Structure 1
Amino acid sequence: MSSVIVRIPGVDVPDERGRTGLDRAGRDLTGNPDVVVRDVELIASGWHVLRRTTFDYRHADGRWTRERRETYDRGNGATVLPYDLARGTVLLARQFRYPVYVNGHPDGMLLEAAAGLLDDDEPEAAIRREAEEELGVTLGALTHVFDVYMSPGSVTERLHFYAAPYRPSDRTGAGGGIADEGEDIAVVELPFAEALAMIGDGRIADAKTVMLLQWAALHVFS
Structure 2
Amino acid sequence: MSDGVPGIDVPDRRGRTGLDRAGLDLTGNPRVRVREVELLASSWYVLRRTTFDYLRADGTWSVEERETYDRGNGATVLLYDAGRGTVLLTRQFRYPVYANGHPDGMLLETAAGLLDDDDPETAIRREAAEETGYEIGEVRHVFDVYMSPGSVTERVHFFAAPYRADRRAGEGGGLAGEGEDIEVVELPFAEALEMVASGEIADAKSIMLLQWAALSGPFAGRGR
Shorter chain as denominator, the TM-score bin is: over 0.9
**In the alignment, what sits opposite 1:209?**
206
The answer as to 2:64 corresponding to 1:59 is no
Name the residue aligned to 1:168. Answer: 165
Q: Distance in 2 between matches of 1:102 and 1:22?
A: 29
What corresponds to 2:72 in structure 1?
75
1:171-206 per-position Cα deviation (integer Å, ceiling 9, x unaligned): 221100000110000000000000010001010000
Matched residues in 2 for 1:165 and 1:18: separation?
38
- Corresponding residue number in structure 1 for 2:218: 220
Alignment of 1:109-124 (within 5 A): 109-124=106-121
Task: For residue 177 of structure 2, give the secondary structure of its aligned residue in structure 1.
Answer: helix
Once the two structures are TM-superposed, the CA of residue 7 in structure 1 deviates from its matched residue by 2.2
Moved over 2 A (4+): none
The answer to whether 1:91 aligns with 2:50 is no
* Partners of 1:94 and 1:174 in 2: CA distance: 14
Match of 2:183 among 182, 186, 200: 186
Alpha-carbon distance between aligned partners in 1 of 2:15 and 2:202, rounded to the nearest angstrom? 36
Q: Letter of the 2:211 partner, please give it.
A: Q
Corresponding residue to 2:142 among 125, 140, 145: 145
Q: What amino acid sits opposite 1:10 in the alignment?
A: G
Moved more, 166-175 or 186-195: 166-175
**Matched residue type, 2:38:** E
Counterparts of 1:17 and 1:143, CA distance in 2 = 32
Aligned length: 218
Please give the alpha-carbon distance, in whole angstroms, between the structure 1 residues aligned to 2:124 and 2:3. 41
Question: Partners of 2:211 and 2:104 in 1: how far apart?
Answer: 25
Q: Deviations over 1:19-64 (max 9, x none)?
A: 1100000000000000000000000001100000000000111100
Question: Equivalents in 2 of 1:212, 1:191: separation in Å?
Answer: 15
* Unpaired runs of at least 5, structure 1: none
RMSD: 0.9
The letter for the 1-side match of 2:97 is V
Alpha-carbon distance between aligned partners in 2 of 1:6 and 1:84, rounded to the nearest angstrom: 56
Alignment of 1:133 with 2:140, yes or no, is: no
* Equivalent AA in structure 1 for residue 35 of structure 2: R
Counterpart pick for 2:36 among 15, 20, 39: 39
Comparing 142-151 with 7-16, which one deviates more in the overlay? 7-16
Identity of aligned residues (%): 75
> Residue 17 of structure 2: which of 20, 23, 31 is its match?
20
TM-score in terms of structure 1 length: 0.97
- Deviation of the 1:6 alpha carbon: 5.0
In the aligned structure 1, how far is the partner of 2:22 from the partner of 2:164? 43
Which letter maps to 1:221?
F
Distance 2:43 2:174 in 1: 22
